[in-house]
Structure 1
C-alpha cells in the first residue's frame, strides 16, 4: 500500500476544511505503520479493513480546542480530577483503532477515556460511534451539522442523551450555543461566560 504517494493531503485547502483519505483493503499492520511521527498531523482510524486518514481544517481545530477548554474549565470549577488523552490512539485488539479529537478520564486515570470528543465538519459520520462501541468508551460527544450531541453507552449500544452522565450539569443544547461563538470570539471570553453559567453548586 503506497501511503506516501497519497500524502500529504492538499495543504492549500488545509486552512478551511477537513480533508479525508479512505484506504480500503488495509490490514492492521498497514495501520500500525501510520503511527510514525511523519503522520502525527493526521487523525487516523481503522475498522473493517479500512484506514481513514483525516487532516483537520481550521474550524475543526477551533471547535475541538474550545470543547477541551470548556471541559477542563468545568472540571476545575467543580474540583473534578481529569486526565487528558488528547488524540491518543485507542485500540481494541486488531479490530479497531481510533484517534479522537480529544478525550478525558475522570476521577482516576484509566487505560481508555471515559469521554471521547469527535468533531465532524466535512469528514466522519455518526458511524464513528461503531468504532467507539468496540472500544467501550462510556460517553461520546459528536459535533456534526453545527451542533453537539451526547451519546452514552448503555447495554452495549449508544443512546442519545440531552445532558452528560460523566459531567453532570453540562447540557448538549447549551454547550452548542457556546461552541458557535468559537468561530468569531476568543476562547478567553467564552470560557469566562461558561464559568459564570456553570456555578459550582449546579
Structure 2
C-alpha cells in the first residue's frame, strides 16, 4: 500500500480504494527501474514524463477478474482462440509504458494485445487512452462508475457500442453482468452471461 495505514486515515476506506502515486519529471530510464519483482502488486505506467504507480484495491481486482472471466467464457462459447496476457508490461520505448488490468490477444499470440481492459475505480483516467494509442492496442475497454465504455483505435480512439473483436458483445450487456461482481460469485455471473450472449 502506498500510504502507511498508521496515518490518521480511515484504513477501511483505504482497503476499498486504489492507492496512486504520480511522479513527474521522470524519464524512460527511470520507468525501466521499476521492476515488478521489487514492487509486487503495483501497476506501473509511463507517459509524457510521468510515472504512475497504482496499488489496486480488492474491489478493483474483483471487477477486473470478473471481466477477464467473462471474456474467456465468450471465447469458449464462440470457439475464438484467445491468449490472456493479464497485466503484462506493454511498451513503445521511449514514448509509453503501461500495465493493463487485463489484456488479451485473439487468434494468434502477440506481444501487443488486441484488447486491454482498465478498471477506473479510484485511480486512472481516460488519459490512459494516450498510452494505449502510443503502444498500438486495437481496442480498450474502461469500467468506471458502473459503466463500461468500448474504444476502437482508428487514427485515434473512437467510442463503439459493440466490440469489433468480440462482435456478439455490447458494452451494455457486459456492464450488466460485471456490475454484479461485488455481490455475486463469478460462477453465477458467468452462467447467466453465457445464456444471454
Native 8 Å contact 1:149 1:172 kept in 2: yes
Distance 1:178 1:103 in 2: 19
Asked whether 1:151 is paired with 2:151, we answer yes
Match of 1:9 in 2: 3
Question: What is the TM-score with the length of structure 1 in the denominator?
Answer: 0.91
Matches within 5 A, 1:58-97: 58-97=58-97
Distance 2:178 2:137 in 1: 23
Distance 1:89 1:63 in 2: 20
Distance 1:26 1:141 in 2: 27
Match of 2:160 in 1: 161
Distance 1:127 1:34 in 2: 21
Distance 1:19 1:129 in 2: 20
Match of 2:106 in 1: 106
SS in 2 for 1:97: strand
Match of 1:193 in 2: 192
- Structural RMSD (CA): 1.2
Match of 2:175 in 1: 176
User: Unaligned regions of 5+ residues in structure 1, if any?
Assistant: 1-6
Question: What is the TM-score with the length of structure 2 in the denominator?
Answer: 0.93
Native 8 Å contact 2:2 2:20 kept in 1: no
User: Unaligned regions of 5+ residues in structure 2, if any?
Assistant: 6-10
Native 8 Å contact 2:2 2:19 kept in 1: no
Pairwise CA distance, 1:38 = 2.1
Distance 1:36 1:176 in 2: 30
Pairwise CA distance, 1:14 = 4.7
Distance 2:71 2:64 in 1: 11
**CA deviation string 1:106-161 (max 9, x = no partner):** 0011110000001101111111101100011000001112111000001x200000
Native 8 Å contact 2:2 2:21 kept in 1: no
Pairwise CA distance, 1:15 = 2.4
Aligned residue pairs: how many?
A: 191
Pairwise CA distance, 1:28 = 1.1
Distance 2:131 2:107 in 1: 24
Distance 1:10 1:47 in 2: 27
Native 8 Å contact 1:14 1:56 kept in 2: no
